[in-house]
Amino acid sequence: MSRRQRAVTAAAAGRGRDSFGFANMMHQVLTESAARPRALFSVASILLTCILVYGVADTLRFLPLSNSFSSFPSIFPSSALDNDSLQDADIMWFRDPFPRFYPDADFQVACDHFLGSPDDVQNRPNGGFNHVKSNNRSIEFYRFWYASRETYPGYHDQDVLNIIKFDPSIMDIGLKIKFLDTAYFGGLCEPSEDFNVVCTMHANCCYGLNSKLIDLRIMLQDWKYFLSLPLTLKKSAMFSWTVPENCSLDSLHYNSTRMSL
């Protein structure tokens, strides 16, 4: 397996044991993606994502795969093939998220807490879901992010992201960052309130694999129940998530720099 293949595989699978290895691998992926034809890279990314989602769904036994993911590849529009979307394995997709991405942004990231504006750097990003354009600005950004591990030793890559988003170097790079609205890209930290528009939900603000699995199952049951409702009740916006349950937010403590899982 080539270095590029290893980087793509590791990036699609998650951060791994070395959290800053993710930023370094993303730098390699974006650099080589910009230098080579993007179509082949994008197809490989889509296939790896499909394999990852298929494996997670099969392991967790959420739904029969023939019903859940039979049309999964068809949700990727051709306009998305110039970009790369990466996510953690504890994120559930309910709708095509691509129409909710900003076409002029270089780096788009989901949030644990969204303050109302996609340009507000006070938003609390969660690197578990991001959409990145392969260009010189994003390459320089990932290089800077990875190098910042030496400036902030002992910090997780997500903690460092929450710090360097204020750094003047981001402006010097010219990177355009957008923070994704939790109305569409929600999570256990801040659930999407409207089932009629939610695209993804993340099992963030949660410690322990078992707790995540339990709440992801409950999340899916909530979604299945919503789909079973008559159209008039779906539009009433009276339905809400029953999670978090095992992932209790009462056990979480934040400070000015530390981010949730």
Q: Is the pLDDT of residue 9 over 80?
A: no
Selected residue with higher pLDDT from 33 and 30 = 30
Least confident piece of the model among 73-77, 123-127, 203-207 = 73-77
Tokens 């998305």, residue located? 80
- Given a contact cutoff of 8 angstroms between Cβ atoms, the answer to whether 154 and 146 are in contact is no
Q: Evaluate whether 64 touches 165 at the Cβ level (below 8 Å).
A: no
**pLDDT of 117 strictly over 80:** yes
Say how far residue 93 (Cα) sits from the centre of its chain: 10
Structure tokens at 105: 């942004």
Q: What is the largest CA-CA distance in the chain?
A: 55
Least confident of 39-43, 127-131, 193-197: 39-43
Q: What is the residue extent of each domain of the chain? A: 91-259
Query: Tens digits of per-residue pLDDT, 202-247?
Result: 999 998 999 999 999 999 999 999 999 999 899 887 789 999 988 8
Mean pLDDT of 89-116: 96
Percentage above 90 pLDDT, the chain:
55
Task: Measure the CA–CA gap between 123 and 259, rounded to whole angstroms.
Answer: 11
Tell me which of 92 and 47 has the higher pLDDT.
92
Most confident region among 23-27, 189-193, 244-248 by mean pLDDT: 189-193
Q: Is 241 helix (H, G, I), strand (E, B) or coil?
A: coil
Q: Return the pLDDT at 191.
A: 95
Could you tell me whether strands 200-202 and 185-187 are parallel, antiparallel, or unpaired per DSSP bridges? Answer: parallel
Residue corresponding to tokens 């044991």 = 17
Q: What is the pLDDT of residue 23?
A: 61
- Angle, helix 19-35 to helix 38-60, in steps of 10 degrees: 140
